[in-house]
Amino acid sequence: MAFEKVNVNDLCFSPVKAIGEDWGILTGVSGKGFNSMTVSWGSVGVLWSRPVVFAFVRPGRHTYGFMNDGEMFSLAIMNKEIHKKMAVFGSKSGRDVDKYKESGLTAVFEDGVPFPEEAELVFVCRKIAKGDISPDWFIDEGIDPDNYPKKDYHRMFIGEIVTVLKKV
Ligand SMILES: Cc1cc2nc3c(=O)[nH]c(=O)nc-3n(C[C@H](O)[C@H](O)[C@H](O)COP(=O)(O)O)c2cc1C
């Protein structure tokens, strides 16, 4: 599949639909390799006057180590129609299986950063900040019991968008 580079300011899409409904595949890459997992929480926006991606990863995920150690990551927006094919990315761990082999998706690279070739839109990001969600952030009392019965608070990764690729 072919991609074209696009200017982030020329993008016209809903991050809420793209991440929340179409879902993303988040890939962390470090000196030890890379790992990809499904995400449906996150955002694309602006912070510190830079275009950024926000991604949220629980500490138990295999992807967590790669996101922590690496300088770069990618967020690939997928097409809803391949959710079935993507199932392994959100249900199994890269510790146990080769998700690309099992799903039939193909990992391709942009400047050394991997992402699935089947993506619709890809944000290649340079990690610029991270921090752990903490219960003292919560104003809405439902957030903690609804999302963190195991107290495994997500780590938020903020990546400056360096390249945007759109499926041609
Ligand atoms: C639709 C969907 C959305 C998900 N969103 C997230 C997310 O935003 N953050 C997260 O930490 N886990 C999320 N997960 C769970 C991980 O994708 C899942 O635990 C995965 O197997 C982790 O793989 P890993 O251990 O190889 O990193 C989601 C799962 C699904 C099915």
Parse the chain into domains and list their residue ranges: 3-167
Structure confidence by residue, pLDDT tens digits, 132-167: 999 999 999 999 999 999 999 999 999 999 999 999
3-state SS record for 10-30: HCCCCHHHHHHHHCEEEEEEE
Interval 20-45: pLDDT, tens: 999 999 999 999 999 999 999 999 99
Q: CATH number for 3-167: choose from 1.10.3720.10, 1.20.210.10, 2.60.40.290, 2.30.110.10.
A: 2.30.110.10
Q: Does pTM surpass 0.75?
A: yes
Atom 30 (ligand 1) nearest CA = 90
CA distances from 92 to 47, 65, 121 (A): 32, 16, 23
Ligand 1 atom closest to Cα of 87? 31
- Tell the residue nearest (CA) to atom 5 of ligand 1: 39
Amino acid identity, position 117 = E
Nearest CA to ligand 1 atom 29: 90
Q: What residues does ligand 1 touch, defined as CB less than 6 Å away?
A: 23, 35, 37-41, 56-58, 61-63, 90-94, 154
